[in-house]
A and B are shown apart, each in its own frame.
Chain A
Amino acid sequence: MIEHLSTPLVWLILLPLVWATLAFCLGPGRGALLGLSGLGLQLLCAILLAVEVAPKQTVTHLVGGWQEPLGILLVADGLSVTMLLLTQAVSLPVALYAYSYLKQGQHWFWPLTGFLLAGINGLYLSGDLFNLYVTLELIGLAAVGLVVTGGAAGQVTAAMRYLLASLVGSGGFLLGVALLYGCFGTVSIRLLTSLIGSQAPLAVWLAAAVMVAGLLLKTALFPFHFWLPPAHGGAPAPISALLSALVVKASFYVLLRLWLGPFAGFVSPLAWLPALLGSLAILWGGCQAIRAERLKMMVAYSTVAQLGYLVLIFPLFGTGSHAMQIGLLQATAHGLAKAGMFLAAGTLVKASGSELIDGIATMAGRLPVTLFAFGLSGVSLMGLPPSGGFLAKYMLIDAALAVGHIWIAVIVVTGGLLASIYVFRVLRLAFLGPGDERQVALQPVSAVMEWTAFMLAVSAIVLGLAAMPLFRLLEGVAG
């Protein structure tokens, strides 16, 4: 009986649901303690699940005890466990930061974050297309609610735009699910993968088209990125960190599952298409980040660029390279580094009282820990050794050259150069910028805010030195 009750996989979904609901009942600004202890337990569950999955490669749970196609199957494999670990490892320090950043104000951060994490964890564990749609709805609504936290009028506009983009994306996904159900009579991913061959009927092609388009819109891949910079750049820093590090990865994960699962038989000749969009995202996002005037807007455009790297792996599937490992390493490294960078940027903005990049002139001497966190995150985003970002980009170039895709290597190098321009622009200002005569008094910031950002940034670096466990976890995953 105790063994049945202690299934970490199920609790990863139930825990955030429970603490989110309790925090909702407590009212605005409340529930921090509940949330933080829940997040701690979730991290423990994710680690226990990883330990359970590592030797067996897959752990499943039949909800309701019903087999597919009647019931819903929860599946954890190396891919989902990696994403679950990233999610819990990022959200705990971000929540600590938020506790210090938001205080007791009139916000609904805790219930919204709880539902967001229930949705994200549910998504990574789902083996069922309709269930994936429900989790996408949870994630989308919670993320939109979070964007308006801190509620300036501009935020409501950004949230509205985000809501519409998110709903169109889920609508496309749902249309595809309905078409697939019409063709095969099931929404189980495992059954669909075995039923759909290379000779797909028109309805399946159409389903693939609307589902991929919907997911790209939710992932904010160029040219569907229009909603991301105002939403991520304008939200309070801890929320931007959750959105940029975690939320956009969730829809990318679904895309990856579909691409390598049900649609694998007929989409592989089209792998250049997402890779092309990814290349444009890297170039466009990089240029916009260089031109940005507001600090958090720069970080948001950097997300647009970094998401591009994730889809560059698509042409490498099935070529014998470690495409899955590369993609997941990039996702993890970006998640940690971007969360660290947004938190550091939030601290800088709060301390200096200015949203502009120019506002952080000569901050290096006054907030050294935060500046160091910003710099370390930048190292990983640029792809300098020994960071996780470096290892991912290095392996990507290596794999691309091995199969003759020289253009991918060129794009990766160019993207790294663009990233170094926007990161060094900030660091140069912080260390050498003008403004020593106007020593404006800094707003006090808590040590928690400084050190959580630092910890995330350091993890992004350490990932480059200790990526082997991650690779081993992913060994059994198809692709």
Chain B
Amino acid sequence: MTTALAFEALLALLLLWSAWQTLATPQMDRAVIMFIVFGLLLTLVWSRLQAPDIALAEAALGAGLTGTLLLDALTAFRQPNRSAKHGRVLAAFRRFPALLALLLLAAALLTSLTRLPLPAVDLPAAVAGQLGSSGVSHPVTAVLLNFRGYDTLLEVAVLLLALTGILAVGLPAERPLLSLNQLVPTLARSAVPLMVLAAFYLLWAGAHRPGGAFQAAAVLAAAAVLLNLSQLQSRWLPTQHWIRLVVGAGLLLFVGIAAALLAGGGLLRFPPGQAGLLILLIESGLTVSLAVNLAAFYLLRTSSSGQWAGQEDSHE
């Protein structure tokens, strides 16, 4: 018991330390690395809190994909020897009100969390009570795809929207990546098949244990990014129609099933008999389209001319 407590205390301290390091360091690359460390520590925290679904998502999306995106942004905007020491005292004074407000908020949060009342509504019991007619046996999947499937539908739209936003802002030109190229190809050749296998397992497992479309898609996207890092996969161009079609198809399938179920009396009202099959269908579609969607955040790049508008590219 005491070992567990000591481990948890150490974990909490490390989490705070890495968060502080991320914010306080003047070097951007160090901040990004510390952000990834923070994400990995948070993964451990979630698994200690018996929340393996969130731990999986945090590892794949929070630390993995976000970390890669930040590293990528860093290479794009790298400025030689940019020093943040200049004007540091002034900056500290400017930050003081914000810091004070945050400390007050943190204190208020801690105080209120220690005296939370006992919830009047027992939602976990309600979930457990209806799990039998949800079509799946894992409560998290039941909530995500059945009880609150409407939220998930809109979240999928948010991801597609984020991709549209990236396209609207315009894409930077392709450029050489971090100097990982020597080591990575061998690693990638053996890791990527395993990652694809893991993604299928996660998709299948989602029905009865931690896993599901989002985690499976994140692993597939990570595999695509790894292939690119090891120069086995070139970047994608916005002119490639299949990317948009695959990303759009997942959401359309979800909306289509949701709307078709209106005939049975309600949006997304799964008939208990077919719920399992329909959820697997939706999740399979989402795994593919979300994988392409997430990978596109990283892999979509413009041609070297800097103008992606409409022109087929000669660079690739």
Q: A149 near B: Cβ within 8 Å?
A: yes
What residues on B are CB-neighbors of A148 within 8 Å? Answer: 165, 168-170
Determine whether the beta carbon of B259 is less than 8 Å from that of A22.
Answer: no
Q: Given A24-B164, A64-B270 in contact, is the A184-B252 Cβ separation under 8 Å?
A: no
Determine whether the beta carbon of A185 is less than 8 Å from that of B112.
Answer: no
Determine whether the beta carbon of A27 is less than 8 Å from that of B241.
Answer: yes
Determine whether the beta carbon of A10 is less than 8 Å from that of B158.
Answer: no
What residues on B are CB-neighbors of A106 within 8 Å? Answer: 309-310
Q: Given A70-B130, A206-B108 in contact, is the A17-B150 Cβ separation under 8 Å?
A: no
Q: B49 near A: Cβ within 8 Å?
A: no
Determine whether the beta carbon of B255 is less than 8 Å from that of A17.
Answer: yes
Determine whether the beta carbon of B148 is less than 8 Å from that of A69.
Answer: no
Q: Which residues, 109 to 152 on B, are CB-close (under 8 Å) to A?
A: 109, 111-113, 115-117, 119-123, 126-127, 130, 146-151
Determine whether the beta carbon of A151 is less than 8 Å from that of B170.
Answer: yes
Interface centre among A65, A69, A135, A151 (most CB of B within 10 A): A65
Q: A303–B269 Cα gap in the complex (Å)?
A: 42
Q: Given A64-B149, A108-B168 in contact, is the A17-B251 Cβ separation under 8 Å?
A: yes
Determine whether the beta carbon of B151 is less than 8 Å from that of A134.
Answer: yes
A428 to chain B, nearest CB (A): 38
What residues on B are CB-neighbors of A478 within 8 Å? Answer: none
Q: A353 near B: Cβ within 8 Å?
A: no
What residues on B are CB-neighbors of A131 within 8 Å? Answer: 148, 150-151, 154
What residues on B are CB-neighbors of A63 within 8 Å? Answer: 149-150, 266-269
Give the number of residue pairs across the A-B interface with Cβ within 8 Å. 182
Interface centre among A74, A134, A183, A195 (most CB of B within 10 A): A134
Q: B187 near A: Cβ within 8 Å?
A: no
| Partner among A14, A185, A202 whose Cβ is within 8 Å of the Cβ of B119 | A185
Q: Given A148-B169, A149-B168, A183-B116 in contact, is the A4-B121 Cβ separation under 8 Å?
A: no
Interface centre among A119, A142, A156, A191 (most CB of B within 10 A): A142
B243 to chain A, nearest CB (A): 10
Q: Given A21-B251, A183-B117 in contact, is the A61-B165 Cβ separation under 8 Å?
A: no
Q: B162 near A: Cβ within 8 Å?
A: yes
Determine whether the beta carbon of A70 is less than 8 Å from that of B147.
Answer: yes
Classify the secondary structure of A's interface with B: helix
What residues on B are CB-neighbors of A24 within 8 Å? Answer: 160, 164, 244, 247-248
Determine whether the beta carbon of A64 is less than 8 Å from that of B146.
Answer: yes
Q: A106–B239 Cα gap in the complex (Å)?
A: 12
| Partner among B161, B170, B263, B265 whose Cβ is within 8 Å of the Cβ of A141 | B161
Interface size class of B (residues with CB under 8 A): 35 or more
| Partner among A10, A71, A74 whose Cβ is within 8 Å of the Cβ of B147 | A71
| Partner among A21, A179, A203 whose Cβ is within 8 Å of the Cβ of B160 | A21
Determine whether the beta carbon of A72 is less than 8 Å from that of B161.
Answer: no
What residues on B are CB-neighbors of A108 within 8 Å? Answer: 164, 167-168
Determine whether the beta carbon of A27 is less than 8 Å from that of B244.
Answer: yes
Which stretch (A50-58, A110-118, A368-376, A393-401) binds chain B? A110-118
CB nearest neighbor in B for A69:
B121
Q: A1–B263 Cα gap in the complex (Å)?
A: 5
Q: B195 near A: Cβ within 8 Å?
A: no
Q: A201–B259 Cα gap in the complex (Å)?
A: 41
Determine whether the beta carbon of B262 is less than 8 Å from that of A184.
Answer: no
Q: Which residues, 128 to 144 on A, are CB-close (under 8 Å) to B?
A: 130-131, 134-135, 137-138, 141-142, 144
Q: B155 near A: Cβ within 8 Å?
A: yes
In the assembled complex, 27 residue pairs joining A and B whose CB atoms fall closer than 8 Å, in A order, are A4-B266, A5-B262, A5-B263, A14-B258, A17-B251, A17-B255, A24-B244, A28-B167, A63-B268, A64-B266, A64-B267, A65-B269, A71-B147, A115-B161, A118-B157, A131-B148, A131-B150, A134-B154, A134-B158, A156-B169, A159-B169, A183-B119, A184-B121, A185-B120, A186-B121, A201-B115, A210-B105
